[in-house]
Amino acid sequence: MYEALARGARKRRSHEALAQVPASASVPSTKFMAIQFQSLSVGRDDDARAEVRSDVFSSDARSGGARARDHARDHFLTDEFRRSYGWLTHCVHRLVGSRSDAEDLAASAFTELAAHPDVSEIRQPRAMLTTIARRLTFEHWRRRDIERAYLARLALAPEPVAPAPELALEAVQDILLIDSALQSLSARAREAFILSQFEDMKYADIAVRLGVSVSMVRKYVAQALTLCSGVI
């Protein structure tokens, strides 16, 4: 139901300095060197074992903490879904008038809630769900309006066109992408683009209608075309 969080932890390693062999004016005997070497080896082995134990304990502690956080997260999301899904679906249903659409929008709202990086920061989950669902509902209405406008334009064609459902869906999705891209433009730039591309108005007529120069209309349309080429 919800996307799992990526888990990972970095292992920290420490290296302790070893004691150096005492300097001697005379050449040490073979026996003395063997004793010193054995002493250093034992020290290194002890340090290595201590370091491994430290890494294991640290890793276990981190893993235990991550498991506890994941458990708390799953518990929160599951509990909130059981508590608020029906309520949110009912609220959205009053807006969209379709039970199936309301269920889809409510589920999408919960999916976005689950994507929050730290759900422990969410103090009022229903308020957040309401905000998400309201935005998704507006997007749903916008999509419905675009679909209706697209079908109406097809009906006005000299020869009525009835595209295959998959082609109609693809066309609507492309229009939605264009619509989303155009939102970053100014209102005048959007209107200039729509008048030029969909109403077949000449740049001079658009300039008069918007109260700008023809060169500005040309700039508006170029900006919109650049945005559209980047999304479809």
Are 82 and 169 within one domain? no
Lowest mean per-residue pLDDT among 64-73, 130-139, 151-160: 151-160
Same domain, 111 and 205: no
DSSP state string for 194-226: HHHHTS---HHHHHHHHTS-HHHHHHHHHHHHH
pLDDT in the model for residue 232: 64
**Residue 2 within a domain:** no
4-43 pLDDT, tens per residue?
322 333 333 333 333 333 443 344 444 434 334 344 444 5
- Residue 15 maps to a domain: no
The answer to whether residues 60 and 116 belong to one domain is: yes
Q: 47: how many CB neighbours lie within 10 A of its CB? A: 15
- Number of structural domains in the chain: 2
Residue 212, domain member (yes or no): yes
What is the distance between the alpha carbons of residues 181 and 229, in angstroms, rounded to a whole number?
10
Tell me what pLDDT residue 151 has.
Answer: 76
47 and 101 in a single domain? The answer is yes
Contact 84, 129 (CB under 8 A): yes
Q: In this structure, are 49 and 88 located in the same domain? A: yes
100 and 192 share one domain: no
- Average of per-residue pLDDT values in the chain: 75
List, for residues 157-187, the tens digit of each pLDDT value: 676 666 777 777 788 888 888 888 888 889 9
Residue 228, pLDDT above cutoff 90: no
Do 139 and 201 belong to one domain? no
Same domain, 55 and 121: yes
Residues 127 and 43 occupy one common structural domain:
yes
Distance, in Å, from the CA atom of 131 to the CA atom of 110, rounded to the nearest integer, reads 11
- The answer to whether residues 47 and 113 belong to one domain is yes
Whether residue 191 lies inside any domain: the answer is yes
Containing domain of residue 69, as a range?
31-143
Q: Quick check: is 5 in a domain?
A: no
Asked, for residue 151, whether it belongs to a domain, the answer is no
Half-sphere exposure of 225 (CA within 13 A, CB side): 10
pLDDT at res. 12: 32
Q: Which two tokens stand for residue 131?
A: 């905000």
Task: For residue 193, give the CATH number of its domain.
Answer: 1.10.10.10
- Is the four-CA dihedral 126, 139, 78, 4 of positive or negative sign? negative
Question: Helices (H) and strands (E) in the chain — how many of each?
Answer: 7, 0
Cβ–Cβ under 8 Å, residues 206 and 195 = yes
**Buried/exposed 167-195: b ≥16 CB within 10 Å, e otherwise:** ebeeebeebbebeebbeebeeebbbbbeb
